Amino acid sequence: MAMPALNVVNESFIPRPLADQARRAAPERRPLSFGQSLYLIGRPTLKQFLRFVRQHAVEPGGEDVLIGEWQAGRKHIAALEKKEAGCADNPAISKIEVDSKYGPLLMEFLRDPLVRNGFNTVPTEIAWVELDRLVVYQKHIDLSYVRELQHSIGPEPSGEVVFRTCLPCDHPRPPAKWSRTDEDSYVFVSSSNDLRFLGAMPLEARHIRGCPHPGTLLGVVGLAVGFGSNLLNAIWADNRLVLNNGSHRAYALRALGFTHLPCVVQHAPTREELEVVAPPEVRRDPDRFLRNPRPPLLKDYFDARLIKVMPVQRLRRQVELRFSVSEYDVPAL
């Protein structure tokens, strides 16, 4: 399961080329309001790259330098597209069996209601996947969060710790606050960028407990805000595996030397099914990830020629919900 350890920096476990770049990008001491981000260059458009640096970097640097970095990354990608064409095709996946040594962990994981209710749209299995052949769509990695993950799992995690890191059964809630800001709006705030709107839910009076009813309830519409499943999850489509969730966990464990990890694999044999389970960026341009001879891969995060590490402003995620109500009479038929 594990490959020989990469060169790492003891305090952060980030591979040495990335750590060297990080040290060059940031002074020794930064206020707690700053973090570190890794951004893939060369493949996102130059406009997207420049916009990200201008909006987030503490010290953006000269535009001519940034353009030169992007052009160098683009040149390296062109070489990879010839040298590694087809490397993302037909990656091997190995289903985790109930009678394996991970069987008890697998059974505990499958009993989780979030898993039963959240992955029942398309055929799904729990399997070992090879990290370096995972297609990725996420352009940046929060290295500050990666350090937190690595601190929590330690430099030499056991097989059980690795399994639970990738496929946790407990779902701790990151710190968050919410409040009503107006008669028709609520705001939710968290330091976790996983905070999101989870959708609308129809409820009945029996679902509302511990809260006095303002009248005789006919129905309740619940506008849910919270956090995602936080599982390592990939989508199998057109004989490729696209990493759908868990980029930071995959990055953190790959940096520690792991080559294969347990993953929830959803099978989307048609584009119609892909439309249901894929993230928005993949839905908008599936051919960029599924037909390109050499798409962006997870291992690109570790290629010093394809990344820029920079100190960035720490952000908080805010979700604002607004609702409207209209009451009127219409003529009876």
Instruction: State whether 151 and 85 are in the same domain.
Output: yes
Instruction: State whether 167 and 186 are in the same domain.
Output: no
Give 299-302's long-range contacts (Cβ < 8 A, gap of 24+).
299/131, 299/132, 299/254, 300/40, 300/43, 300/136, 301/38, 301/40, 301/136, 301/141, 301/251, 301/254, 302/6, 302/15, 302/17, 302/18, 302/254, 302/255
Instruction: State whether 54 and 194 are in the same domain.
Output: no
Instruction: State whether 196 and 260 are in the same domain.
Output: no
Instruction: State whether 133 and 146 are in the same domain.
Output: yes
Instruction: State whether 190 and 164 are in the same domain.
Output: no
Give 111-117's long-range contacts (Cβ < 8 A, gap of 24+).
111/169, 112/169, 114/171, 114/229, 115/229, 115/231, 115/264
Instruction: State whether 197 and 247 are in the same domain.
Output: no
Is 101 within a domain? yes
Torsion sign (Cα): 33, 36, 41, 43: negative
Instruction: State whether 62 and 95 are in the same domain.
Output: yes
Instruction: Enter the DSSP assignment of 90.
Output: S
Domain that includes residue 190, residue range: 177-206+218-227
One digit per residue, the tens of pLDDT, for the chain of length 333 reads: 443 333 333 333 344 444 444 444 444 444 456 899 999 998 889 999 999 999 999 999 899 999 999 999 999 999 999 999 999 999 999 999 999 999 999 999 999 988 888 888 899 999 999 999 999 999 999 999 999 999 999 999 999 999 999 999 887 777 889 898 888 899 999 877 778 888 888 888 787 787 777 778 788 888 888 877 789 999 999 999 999 999 999 999 999 999 999 999 999 999 999 999 999 999 999 999 999 999 999 999 999 999 999 999 887 888 998 988 888 888 887
CB 139 within 8 A of CB 44: yes
Q: Which two tokens stand for residue 150?
A: 């690595």
> How many domains, in total, are found in the chain?
2
- Give the pLDDT confidence score for residue 32 in this predicted structure: 55
Instruction: State whether 56 and 190 are in the same domain.
Output: no
Instruction: State whether 188 and 240 are in the same domain.
Output: no
Instruction: State whether 233 and 293 are in the same domain.
Output: yes
Query: Distance between the two ends of the chain, CA-based, in angstroms?
Result: 70
The structure's pTM equals: 0.82
Instruction: State whether 101 and 194 are in the same domain.
Output: no
